[in-house]
Structure 1
Amino acid sequence: MSTARAVADDGGSGLVSFRRNTWGVLAGTVACVLGFSVGDWVLDPDVHAGLRAVTGLATATTIVACAVLLARRIRDEVPSAAWLATACCAALVAAAVPLALGSFGIWPLAPAATISVLVTFLPARRAWSALGAALVVLPAIGLVTAVAMGEPRVGHATWMPALMVLAFGPAMVGMLHAWQVAARLDDARRLAGELAVADERLRFAADLHDIQGHHLQVIALKSELAARLAEADPTRAAEQMREVQQLAGDALRETRALVQGYRRTTLDAEIANASRVLAAAGVNVRADVDADLAASLTHGPRSLLGLVVREATTNVLRHSRATRAAIVLVPDDAGARLVIDNDGAGGTWPGGGRAGTGDGTGLASLAERLDAVGGRLSWTSEDDRFVVTATVAG
Structure 2
Amino acid sequence: MIAIGAGADDFRLRAFRWMGRHRWGWIVSIWTPVLMIGPLIATVQDPSPVGIIALVVIPALFAGFVWLAIETPAWTLRVIRPVTLTALVGACAAVVLTEGDGWISAWGFTGVAAAIGFPALGSAITLVAAAIVAGVTTALAASHAIVAASATVLFTGVGAFVIQQLAVSNAELERTRRLLARAAVEEERLRFARDLHDVAGHTLSVIVVKAETARRLAPTDPDAAAEHAADIERLGRDALRELRTAVAGYRRSSLDAELERARASLASRGVGLAVRKDAGNLDAEIDALFGSIVLEASTNLVRHAQRATVCRVTVVAEPSRASIEVADDGAAPATVREGTGLTGLRERVRRLGGELVVEANGGFRVRAEVPA
Q: Please classify the TM superposition score into its range, dividing by the shorter chain length.
A: 0.3 to 0.5
TM-score under structure 2 length normalisation: 0.42
Larger Rg: 2
TM-score under structure 1 length normalisation: 0.41
